[in-house]
A = this chain, B = another copy of it.
Amino acid sequence: MDAWRTSITHVDEKNIWIRGYEIGSLMRRQTFAGAVFLLHKGRLPSEGESRLLDAILISVSDHGPGSPSAATARLACSGNRKGLSSAIAAGILAIGDEHAGAGEACMAIIAQGLRRVKSESISIDDAAERAVDDAEAAKKRLPGLGHRQHATDPRKDALFDLARDYGIAADGVAFMIALEKAASSRIKPLPLNIDGVLAAILYDMGFPPEFGKFVFVIGRVAGLTAEVAEELAREKAMRIHVPVVYDGVPPREIP
């Protein structure tokens, strides 16, 4: 088999280097969030980038046992208590286009809006109005706006404050705030949700769209381990009984 190429981590008999930095030095001087940043960006984060990524990871770490990822992990654990990594993997498999997937679409809308700002020399507010026009014309919902569970997302202020304090908030954040305002005045109250907040910040940090899903997985896996640990400690095997109604064809004979 041909050797696999990598530019991420170099391992030899004596040491391990991540993106060129000796792992022991990283362990002494960075947070885990800093290492996540380094792994993906190939450079060390500034203090603000590091702090913001810590906050992002915490923001998605857990949303209770009822979120699809945690519920999937607990259900898998209920039938398969020996395989700790199985339950966590099952939980991760619930993450996709619907659960934590809006961020990617949202980053695309930000990118398109800010291209218009440049190419058409319009304001960010005008570009946000255009995005609402597009969504109305296509009869599509705008990603990143509107809440399933929270009237105002409790994670928004902490993330935007940190992003501003460290000088990271830029056009991505400005665009999403303008979009919230435009959509809410023209359609109905559509507050920024966590997907929209994260998309704005990750855009301003220079991450590509798919990083939104990666960062969600990294953060959420922490919550999944705690959810699985609690399931094992507090609950019996096979305890989950889903109520089912059969509405198919009545009993019949094989001809």
Contact = CB atoms under 8 A, between A and B. Distances in A.
A15 B58 CA distance: 14
A98 B78 CA distance: 8
Interface stretch (A23-31, A108-116, A125-133, A185-193): A23-31
A100 B81 CA distance: 12
A184 interface: no
B64 A6 contact: yes
Interface string A3-31: 11111111101111111111111111111
A134 to B, nearest CB: 22
A150 B13 contact: yes
Interface in A143-185: 148-152, 154-155, 157-159, 161-162
16 contacts: A4-B74, A5-B234, A7-B246, A8-B65, A8-B226, A10-B246, A11-B66, A11-B244, A19-B249, A27-B58, A27-B59, A31-B32, A68-B78, A79-B94, A90-B94, A218-B225
